Amino acid sequence: MKRATTVGALLAATTLLLAGCNANPTTPSTSSSSAPVTKGGDLTILTSQTELSFDPAKSQSLAITSLGLVERRLTTWDITPGQEAKYVPDLATDTGTASNGGKTWTYTLKDGLTFDDGTPITSADVKYGLERSFAPELSGGLGYHKALLAGAADYAGPYDGKELDSIKTPDDKTIVFELNTPYGDWPWIASMPAFSPVPKAKDTEPATYGEKPAASGPYTIESYQQGVALKMVRNPKWDASTDAVRTAGPDTITFKMSQDATVAAQALIADSGDAATSFGAQFVPPAQLAQAQNNPSAKSRLVTSEPGALAYLALNTQRGDLEDVKVRQALQYAVDRQAFLVASGGELAGAAATTLITPGIPGREEYDLYPAPAAGDPDKAKQLLADAGHADDLDLTLVTGNDTVSLAQAQALQQGFEKAGVKVTLQPLDANTLTERVTSGSGDYDLYIGSWQPDFPSPNGNIQPLFDSSQIGSGGYNISRYQDADVDAAIAKATGEVDQAAAGAQWAAIDKMIMEDAPVVPLTYTKNSFLHGSKVQNFAIGAFPAYPNYLKVTLAP
């Protein structure tokens, strides 16, 4: 998924921003009080979305959110607060066996797996489900596998009778994937929506399959009214003994759609009626976040994630004075992270960042190559600029979103750089123009504020999309236009490493290797806050992702 966006646009869209700086925030909780798993009750999830599709070919749903309640994958995520995320078996007996140097991955399905109508789940159903994701009419889903499966470049799905030969099913329980390159993170890829099984016999109308898909998880969709509600009920054929990550507490789960974030948050704060058995799928808006902090009852039901997505300042390494690594290193000291954080809403909105690999990602190593006070070190920056021959003449353009939040963040950085003698001119653009400007081939900009949330918790997801030279231009998100042959080679080696501990060490070394060249300035790791009703239990956010784990939520008896 393309996650890079202006931080301001991201915050405005999700209403994460706080009003002003909370100078003395209370340490947030990442979970409501843990309680025994209870069965029963009707859970409601309040969402601003006007449309929900449970078609795995079209979905970008995280493994622990909506789609994971209905459709299982070969692997899935084990998410526990205070612990790094890890992949675990789901439909498969293990997380995959690699061979051929990491280019071939083999899975065996568990015994006793069935769809909600009692039909056995076979390897052919997984293969067909994955092949559907290549059909042009079912676009929009996560597509990492499309670039990795051998011979897939010209494949257009199964609806013309063709199969993808690099997905083999020698029997009903075995499925084998042949890749065009070694890929150690394939078990993460196998946890994505497209790896959900789809029975060919049920795929008679692909355009509407997502309204009532064949269920392999603990719930099946009973009804769907676009823009209004989607209701799930228990899948009587789901076998808990085959499923270690889903607790299936509530009897029913209803997604109440088209909910204004402010209205939903106010209802959850009041905690009356159905709100007591509800939680919000969207971030808490600024006014209600402040209100909840001052309300003891609501505060106990406010759950804030640990630091997550990376907000960063991209420095166009192929542009003028920024081609000089000494200039880029000087800017690391000149940046005022404190002012940027204030503009982003204060300490409940994030924490200062120094690394490219984000918190909660296995293999991450904490370090700071450019230690400075929170407000920066203008004197150090001036000295480095003078050494580089730019004592007072550095003049840069920062392209930014034209919304209020983006402008405030850009102005905070502008004022910080001014203290170091660096002139920064702001160029506000609408969202579409801005994205085109920074991801196209022209590179007509100096600086850009972006945000990146990987789709799976591997350092690969942090590093490769932002810093591999193949991702420059043509819609790619190497917005710093960073190009280094040694880094590209190191990325390729780490990508192919099957041993996860060895891969983690390699990625940590690459993180530092890139930051020595200073193509970006890490700014903050952003946080998300959510509210739930008083009868909602086991509502928790792990170290990754910065969203609640729907699969574990239960209701008080």
Per residue in 83-130, pLDDT (tens digit) is: 888 999 999 999 999 999 999 999 999 999 999 999 999 999 999 999
Per residue in 266-279, pLDDT (tens digit) is: 999 999 999 999 99
The total of other beta-carbon atoms located within 10 Å of residue 217's CB is 23
Residue by residue, DSSP assigns 207-220 as: GGGGGSPPP-SSEE
Scanning the structure block, which residue is given the tokens 């994958």? 73
CATH of the domain spanning 307-526: 3.10.105.10
CA distance 426 to 415: 11
Q: For the chain, what are the domain ranges?
A: 58-214, 307-526
The burial of 326, by beta-carbon neighbours within 10 Å (0-12 exposed, 13-18 middle, 19 or more buried), is given as middle
> Any idea which of 28-37, 153-162, 303-312, 478-487 has the lowest mean pLDDT?
28-37
Residue 136 is classified by DSSP as G
The total of other beta-carbon atoms located within 10 Å of residue 496's CB is 17
Compute and round to an integer the Cα radius of gyration of the chain: 24
Spatial CA neighbour of 409 closest among 1, 23, 5? 5
Residue by residue, DSSP assigns 356-405 as: SSPTT-TT-----SS---TT--HHHHHHHHHHTT-SS--EEEEEEESSHH
The fold adopted by the segment(s) 58-214 is D-Maltodextrin-Binding Protein; domain 2 (3.40.190)
Per residue in 501-539, pLDDT (tens digit) is: 999 999 999 999 999 999 999 999 998 899 999 999 999
- The whole-number pLDDT of residue 33 equals 62
Per the CB < 8 A criterion, the answer to whether 356 and 523 are in contact is no
- The whole-number pLDDT of residue 262 equals 93
Per the CB < 8 A criterion, the answer to whether 481 and 467 are in contact is no
Amino acid found at 149: L
Spatial CA neighbour of 263 closest among 284, 235, 242? 284
Per the prediction, the chain carries an average pLDDT of: 92
Per the CB < 8 A criterion, the answer to whether 185 and 458 are in contact is yes
Per the CB < 8 A criterion, the answer to whether 330 and 385 are in contact is yes
Per the CB < 8 A criterion, the answer to whether 538 and 28 are in contact is no
The burial of 442, by beta-carbon neighbours within 10 Å (0-12 exposed, 13-18 middle, 19 or more buried), is given as exposed
Per residue in 20-57, pLDDT (tens digit) is: 222 223 445 777 667 889 999 999 999 999 999 999 99
